[in-house]
């Protein structure tokens, strides 16, 4: 068991610009192993950009320029030998479910197959484990061969989470996962995240500040490409965070 204060990710003076327009303006902080780090902030603050920088999917955005340093497990991600290995280490859940037009089983088995797993018993195990972890197994275990896209919205989002978990990521990033699902499913997934915390590092970008309050050990407030405040969640949500702006955002005075 690793100490909860081990640095999993170090972000040092990270700057991102799109075609010369600044989206992240030099932010620095660490993310620890086995914490849930909440990231809150109004639209256009740079939250999604930050996640894309961490798994280097910004590589695919033409015109995106990245400056500064991100280290994962102490290694500078700009110079990692194998960027696929880096991306496998990081599970990413997008705001809307992104199922493939495949069966439930094949959706979850997709990434492991891409990584070369061929043994059907091993694939069965991975599919079951991932669906159990995503709290979807009981609902789908009798129809693994039916289309993933036939599931309800909330089930599809849990399928997306199962897919992200299929390659046993050490870091799980969620980008506003509850934007298109009902509150009951949201609470269900929140329980899933709580149970995953002991096994991985979770970065929870959320448009719902109360979600960060419920789940996050620490919360970062991003605004306009700057890190306004990062502290223990109870401090960020207290009557006296360090910055007045944090108080105003958390209490719905703007944003």
Strand ranges for the chain from DSSP E: 7-18, 21-32, 36-40, 64-72, 75-76, 90-93, 171-175, 201-205, 218-223, 226-232
- Whichever of 18 and 110 has its CB closer to ligand ADP, that residue is 18
Q: Which of residues 20-49 bind Mg ion (CB under 5 A)?
A: 47-48
**CA proximity to 52, closest of 173, 230, 163:** 173
- For position 44 contacting ligand ADP by CB under 6 A, the verdict is yes
Query: Using CB under 6 A, which of the segments 46-54, 65-73, 109-117, 193-201 binds ligand ADP?
Result: 46-54
Residue of 9, 23, 54, 216 interacting with ligand ADP (CB under 6 A) = 23
Cα separation, 155 vs 158, in Å, equals 5
- Whichever of 105 and 221 has its CB closer to Mg ion, that residue is 221
Count of residues in contact with Mg ion, rule CB under 5 A: 2
Cα separation, 185 vs 188, in Å, equals 5
- Whichever of 47 and 89 has its CB closer to Mg ion, that residue is 47
- Whichever of 45 and 130 has its CB closer to ligand ADP, that residue is 45
Residue with tokens 């448009």, as numbered in its chain: 207
Residues in the chain: 255
* Contacting residues toward ligand ADP, per CB under 6 A: 18, 23, 41, 43-49, 61
* Contacting residues toward Mg ion, per CB under 5 A: 47-48
């Amino acid at each position: 068991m690793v100490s909860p204060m081990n640095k999993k990710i170090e972000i040092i003076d990270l700057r991102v610009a799109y075609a010369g327009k600044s989206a992240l303006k030099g932010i620095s902080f660490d993310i620890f192993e086995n914490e849930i780090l909440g990231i809150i902030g109004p639209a256009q603050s740079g939250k999604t950009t930050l996640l894309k920088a961490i798994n280097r999917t910004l590589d695919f955005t033409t015109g995106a320029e990245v400056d500064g340093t991100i280290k994962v497990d102490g290694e500078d991600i700009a110079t990692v030998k194998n960027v696929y290995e880096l991306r496998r280490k990081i599970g990413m859940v997008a705001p809307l479910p992104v199922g493939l037009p495949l069966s439930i089983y094949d959706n979850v088995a997709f990434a492991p197959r891409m990584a070369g797993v061929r043994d059907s018993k091993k694939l069965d195990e991975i599919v079951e484990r991932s669906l159990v972890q995503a709290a979807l197994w009981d609902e789908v275990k009798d129809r693994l061969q039916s289309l993933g896209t036939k599931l309800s919205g909330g089930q599809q989002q849990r399928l997306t989470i199962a897919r992200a978990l299929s390659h046993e990521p050490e870091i799980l990033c969620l980008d506003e996962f509850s934007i298109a699902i009902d509150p009951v499913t949201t609470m269900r997934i929140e329980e899933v995240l709580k149970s995953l915390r002991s096994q991985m590092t979770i970065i929870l970008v959320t448009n719902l500040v109360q979600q960060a309050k419920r789940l996050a050990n620490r919360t970062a407030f991003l605004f306009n490409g700057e890190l306004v405040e990062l502290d223990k969640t109870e401090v960020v949500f207290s009557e006296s965070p360090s910055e007045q702006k944090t108080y105003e955002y958390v209490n719905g005075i703007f944003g």
